[in-house]
Structure 1
Amino acid sequence: MSGSVRLEDGGRGELLITADGTFRAGRADRERTGRIDPALLRRVLAATARFPAPAPVDAPATGRRLTVQGQPGQPDRQWADGTAAPVPAEAAVLDALLAQALGEADAPAALPAALARTEPATGTPRSAAAVGTVAGRAAYALVEADGAFGLTALDDAAPLGGSDADAGLAPTAVALGEAGGRSLFAVGSTDGSVQVWDAATGAVAHGTTGGEGAQAVAALVCRDIPVAFSAGQVGDLRAVRADDGRVLGTLPTGGRGATALRAVHCAGVDLLAAASPDGTVRVWDAGSGDLLHLLVGHRGEVAALAVLTVDNQAVLASAGQDRRIRLWDLATGQPVAELDGHTGTVTGLAFTTLADRPVLASCALDGTVRTWDVYDGRPLHGWPAGEWLTALAAVGDALYTGDETGRITVWDAATGAPAPKAVPAGRPGSPLAALTAGALHGRPVLAAGFGDGAVQVWDAATGGQLLDLPGEGGPVHSLDLTADLLVCGTAAGAVRSHRLTDGTALPLPVPHAGPVAGIAFTPGEQPLLASAGRDGVIAVRDAATGADSRRFATGCGPFTALAATVAGGQPILATAGEDLVVRLWHAVSGVAGPVCTGLPQAAEVLSFAVLGGRPAVIAGAGDGTVLVWDVQDGSRTAELTGGGTAVRAVAGREFDGEALLAAGDAAGTLRLWHLASASLLNEAALDGTPLAIDLDEAGLRIVTPGGAVKL
């Protein structure tokens, strides 16, 4: 395939797709790259070929312009809104891809991962610091960009703990807090992880491993414990209890993440299979964590896995972009068959039984469903079933397929004819990304996940809907069932667990999908740990245990800073973002509070203080400006002009009724203001960039990469 497609939207950004399937989506403040399946580009090119287009034209500044270039034997073609040749409606899939890649809050329901996958967001490690207490002593935590960290007393610089030169961290934010009678030290990282240690002992308290999005999940009752396995595009596999969210451990993938997971119990062993983007498949003993097999053979990403168990034997089916289905003996790790026939990426696999013989069903982006005899590898039937088939499940002799329109179709597995069964309604207009079958109280059930984040569950025998769970945590990428639990993974990184009986959500700890922008503890008797990410998500958990994790997908775009406090007896969070506003949130419910406006550039740092007897939030902007707002109504109470470079640390405090505010910038300058008069009291040059400020009766102390200094 040759040629390229470019969509320019003056109000949203620009999307460029090249002939090899790579794409770049960008606008002034962000850029993302990724890959699409050839089927998507073929559809766009075929659709545009039906529409005449004039020579390249100038599009209105706020309109859209679509350009197709490099097609063999054809001139460059262009369509533009507001002209005689507007952008064809068939280009809507490109609008969806552009909005999805850039993380737009109003993005259409996401394209399934089989069609388009955005590369993980990246971040740059940076030194970070926070002030607080360790074992009752005023202290500061300092994390270096190279991953080393240290805890130091503020009064006499006594070392209170630390790490070797390389602790394996890639820090972006740090916090100190008190919870459960312990001093805690938390670090957020470029990979979206949040790790928490006991500051006094160095023992790990809780946390999440990194990864971008839970694009693959699997569930299994392992040694009588319901376990949810999940993986993103990068990082290792994560295992947590599916009923209470307790972290059980990780399985290494060499940092590659996984594109598909499947778990099964066979011959007394709990097996977990994970497909990697490089085409390999790893198989573990999930109970012991031992790697049993590394399966090599696919050329291209593996998108689907299925496991068949017969007596004490297990057969794994794998397939993906190379269009070939491979069968593997899981006892030996050896290949047993190769099944060819599909002409597009295989997106779904499911085993069933017909006439007492095991049968494998498959669906693909070529729009067909095929069935195969497992014993001899013979193709049995193949039939057209749509255009972009994105998921497949089997219940008895019925096959269920889902497509990019949200439609679910039921087929007779023996003949390929539409089955005379009740058909679940699906969600027309929202791409279906995942299907899975299971049982509840002995009855077969079918679950589906959609691009708008919704999950639906039906009684497979009657077609009656059992659950309709609203979207939360972003588009659903994968689903699995075990016991009476439903586990799903989403594009935003959330792993959701619900009871099948009533849909009750069970909180699970998951990483941010991208770098952590800020992390903070709330004070008080029931402290919380909050983090805000570049993914636009706020995560809140019990500070002492990490349990009762909640995620708020705010739709506000990338965050740049976070602060936490208690005001009026309620835990309050403040976030700053690239939209140049500071937003206040209730930390438990996620309910949005006042929106504080007026930032000339995005704020890299936030702080709370009581000023004039009222709680206030302070923001340091990228141009050196410092703004102060009233927490209760969001009104701006002060604006202070700095030296023109980004503010990296702020703090405010009242002394005998007089409010003072300190701010340090990237140039290494510390400024102290009298807030009521907005007058500059002092300005001092520091030997290093200020990372944190402590302002109290003991004086003004500033933490830089070289340590703490007192003014």
Structure 2
Amino acid sequence: MNFHTEESPSSKAWNLDTKKHTSFPIHGDSVVTCLILDVPYDVIVTASDDHTITVYTLSTGQLKFNLIGHQGGVWCLSSVKHDGQNLLASGSSDKTVRIWDLASGKCLHIFRGHTSTVRCLVVVYPTLIESSMNDKDLYPKLPLIVTASRDKSVKVWSIPGKDEHNFVADEGADASDNPHHLFNLTGHTQPVRGLSAHGRTAVSGSYDHTVRVWDIISGECRHVLIGHSKKGKLQFHDHPVFLAQLTLLVYAVVYDPIRDQVYSTGMDGTIIIWSAKSGVCLHTLTGHQSLIGLLELSSSNLSPYLISGCADATLKVWDPITGTLVHTLSGHPGAITCFYHDEKRVLAGGDGLLRMWDIQTGTVIKDLLKGMTAVWQVAFDGQWGVCASSDVKSIEGRQIQQSMLHIWDFGESDSKW
């Protein structure tokens, strides 16, 4: 989930005419499943279904580390800042959660207890939240990791401090044997695919067609939100990412702490806005013609945008307060597979195209990449933009699929972009 305030460095203007663009191969012909851009620490992190995580220096593009250890595809990543440590948390189809030291490239901790693929992972930092006495207190007291899995569960973990011993769970160990395991949140009856969290609230979306709102401090399920249809309209495209979305991206969920609202998408092609306090459906947003696999809130300020990306090859920009459709961004040749945004612009990728849009007017600014087979992931911050794509390369007379990492240095400009 992206929260960018008005002062966010992501909203700085870019000089599109003098941008510096470099690219190089990564992860062979495998899908790039995750991408992290960390400008303050000068790193880019990518993960893949080839079981590996790679760390690059942003400013030079040089490889820093290959993080080896997962025995399955890596499907979720999050950077973690805790107790003076610059860490990385990862979840994999090998059923483990791993915590890595980005200063040394070492795996410090291995958590076990999930019995299937760890598909979602969110780090929750201490936040001032109003208590029952109308005072404010920090929840949680220390950063937590929340994970969701195809095993139908959501788990809450504490993060070891820098002076704590490395914790490496034995093969087949139960989560209850881990002193850092806090809660096993159960109730979903099908795999959990969507996860969002802030403060003491986590929201999960499942193939069981429900959304659950959890208190991760007490372990209580506050609400079970039922409203998405079990039937949806699907449009089949000859595209490997879209075909994966049919089985994986059934739900996306976003928790909005500013308005205390939950946003969820389903295979039924709708977006539902819920009150996290009462569990009541506030709005049902319609207009997409297929599975909505991507949903993000653009800003935490008083004039936010809710953006949805769909298999019908469009993005839509909504007002999350009223549920009004603001813009439909169309023109992509196929399913939207990734996007990233702030209060000014959105970079969206799909079949063969990475396009920049003006989020406020709904108009195209520029096409940054054309002609690739697929765009896997995209992110930007300050003057930097990064993208993972796939293309067909000719090597020794053979045509092979190759994943690529693109880095743009846009500098700064006096123009609006």
Q: Normalised by the size of structure 2, how large is the TM-score?
A: 0.55
1:423 aligns with 2:195: no
Following superposition of structure 1 onto structure 2, how do residues 386-465 of structure 1 map, counting pairs within 5 Å?
387-403=190-206, 410-414=213-217, 415-418=219-222, 421-424=260-263, 426-430=265-269, 431-436=291-296, 439-441=299-301, 447-455=307-315, 464=323
Match of 2:367 among 508, 513, 519: 508
The one-letter amino acid of 1:281's match is I
Q: Contact 2:316–2:326 (CA<8 Å) still a contact in 1? A: yes
Give the number of the structure whose alpha-carbon radius of gyration is greater: 1
1:480 aligns with 2:340: yes
1:484-531 CA distance string (max 9 Å, x none):
4333333x233343444454443333343549xxxxxxxxxxxxxxxx
1:374 aligns with 2:159: yes
Give 1:447 shift.
4.6
The one-letter amino acid of 2:89's match is A
After superposition, the Cα gap between the structure-2 partners of 1:314 and 1:300, relative to the gap in structure 1 and judged at 3 Å, is same
Q: Contact 2:31–2:48 (CA<8 Å) still a contact in 1? A: yes
Q: Contact 2:33–2:75 (CA<8 Å) still a contact in 1? A: yes
The one-letter amino acid of 1:377's match is H
Following superposition of structure 1 onto structure 2, how do residues 20-39 of structure 1 map, counting pairs within 5 Å?
none
The one-letter amino acid of 2:199's match is G
Give 1:465 shift.
5.9
Give 1:434 shift.
3.5
Equivalence for 2:102: 330
Give percent identity, aligned residues only. Answer: 23
- Which structure's relative contact order is higher, taking Cα pairs within 8 Å and 6+ residues apart? 2
1:221-243 CA distance string (max 9 Å, x none):
xxx7879xxxxxxxxxxxxx797
After superposition, the Cα gap between the structure-2 partners of 1:305 and 1:470, relative to the gap in structure 1 and judged at 3 Å, is same
After superposition, the Cα gap between the structure-2 partners of 1:359 and 1:473, relative to the gap in structure 1 and judged at 3 Å, is farther
Give 1:282 shift.
0.4
CA distance, structure 1, for counterparts of residue 318 and residue 212 of structure 2: 14
After superposition, the Cα gap between the structure-2 partners of 1:364 and 1:458, relative to the gap in structure 1 and judged at 3 Å, is farther
The one-letter amino acid of 1:303's match is W
After superposition, the Cα gap between the structure-2 partners of 1:418 and 1:259, relative to the gap in structure 1 and judged at 3 Å, is farther
Give 1:306 shift.
1.3
After superposition, the Cα gap between the structure-2 partners of 1:265 and 1:250, relative to the gap in structure 1 and judged at 3 Å, is same
Equivalence for 2:61: 289
1:260 aligns with 2:37: no
CA distance, structure 2, for counterparts of residue 382 and residue 468 of structure 1: 37
Q: Secondary structure at the match of 1:356?
A: coil
CA distance, structure 1, for counterparts of residue 29 and residue 15 of structure 2: 23
CA distance, structure 2, for counterparts of residue 293 and residue 439 of structure 1: 33
Q: Contact 2:304–2:343 (CA<8 Å) still a contact in 1? A: no
Equivalence for 2:387: none
Match of 1:385 among 188, 192, 197: 188
> Comparing 382-391 with 335-344, which one deviates more in the overlay?
382-391
Q: Contact 1:390–1:404 (CA<8 Å) still a contact in 2? A: yes
1:437-456 CA distance string (max 9 Å, x none):
55354777765433334445
After superposition, the Cα gap between the structure-2 partners of 1:322 and 1:254, relative to the gap in structure 1 and judged at 3 Å, is closer
The one-letter amino acid of 2:184's match is H
1:126-163 CA distance string (max 9 Å, x none):
xxxxxxxxxxxxxxxxxxxxxxxxxxxxxxxxxxxxxx
The one-letter amino acid of 2:294's match is A
Q: Contact 2:189–2:208 (CA<8 Å) still a contact in 1? A: no
Q: Contact 1:446–1:458 (CA<8 Å) still a contact in 2? A: yes
Give 1:319 shift.
1.5
Q: Contact 2:190–2:208 (CA<8 Å) still a contact in 1? A: no
Equivalence for 1:248: 21
Aligned residues: 279
1:527-561 CA distance string (max 9 Å, x none):
xxxxxx9xxxxxxxxxxxxxxxxxxxxxxxxxxxx
CA distance, structure 2, for counterparts of residue 474 and residue 418 of structure 1: 38
Q: Contact 2:123–2:146 (CA<8 Å) still a contact in 1? A: yes
CA distance, structure 2, for counterparts of residue 381 and residue 455 of structure 1: 35
CA distance, structure 1, for counterparts of residue 17 and residue 77 of structure 2: 27
The one-letter amino acid of 2:50's match is D
The one-letter amino acid of 1:510's match is L
CA distance, structure 1, for counterparts of residue 298 and residue 23 of structure 2: 26
The one-letter amino acid of 2:340's match is D
> Comparing 290-299 with 335-344, which one deviates more in the overlay?
335-344
Q: Contact 1:390–1:433 (CA<8 Å) still a contact in 2? A: no
Q: Contact 1:391–1:401 (CA<8 Å) still a contact in 2? A: yes
CA distance, structure 2, for counterparts of residue 360 and residue 330 of structure 1: 17
After superposition, the Cα gap between the structure-2 partners of 1:407 and 1:225, relative to the gap in structure 1 and judged at 3 Å, is same
Q: Secondary structure at the match of 1:279?
A: coil
CA distance, structure 2, for counterparts of residue 509 and residue 435 of structure 1: 22
CA distance, structure 2, for counterparts of residue 245 and residue 423 of structure 1: 40
After superposition, the Cα gap between the structure-2 partners of 1:291 and 1:365, relative to the gap in structure 1 and judged at 3 Å, is same
CA distance, structure 1, for counterparts of residue 94 and residue 186 of structure 2: 20
Give 1:280 shift.
0.7
1:671-706 CA distance string (max 9 Å, x none):
xxxxxxxxxxxxxxxxxxxxxxxxxxxxxxxxxxxx
Give 1:326 shift.
0.9
Equivalence for 2:353: 494
The one-letter amino acid of 1:262's match is L
After superposition, the Cα gap between the structure-2 partners of 1:495 and 1:514, relative to the gap in structure 1 and judged at 3 Å, is closer
After superposition, the Cα gap between the structure-2 partners of 1:497 and 1:424, relative to the gap in structure 1 and judged at 3 Å, is same
1:318 aligns with 2:157: no
CA distance, structure 2, for counterparts of residue 303 and residue 384 of structure 1: 23
> Comparing 414-423 with 346-355, which one deviates more in the overlay?
414-423
Give 1:406 shift.
8.2
Q: Secondary structure at the match of 1:357?
A: coil
Q: Contact 1:281–1:296 (CA<8 Å) still a contact in 2? A: yes
Q: CA-atom RMSD, angstroms?
A: 4.0
Q: Secondary structure at the match of 1:360?
A: strand
CA distance, structure 2, for counterparts of residue 455 and residue 343 of structure 1: 35
Structure 1: unaligned runs, 5 residues or longer: 1-218, 228-240, 516-532, 534-711
CA distance, structure 2, for counterparts of residue 425 and residue 378 of structure 1: 27
Give 1:359 shift.
1.1
Q: Contact 1:259–1:302 (CA<8 Å) still a contact in 2? A: no
Give 1:324 shift.
1.1
Q: Contact 2:53–2:68 (CA<8 Å) still a contact in 1? A: yes
Q: Normalised by the size of structure 1, how large is the TM-score?
A: 0.34
After superposition, the Cα gap between the structure-2 partners of 1:336 and 1:261, relative to the gap in structure 1 and judged at 3 Å, is same
Give 1:387 shift.
2.1
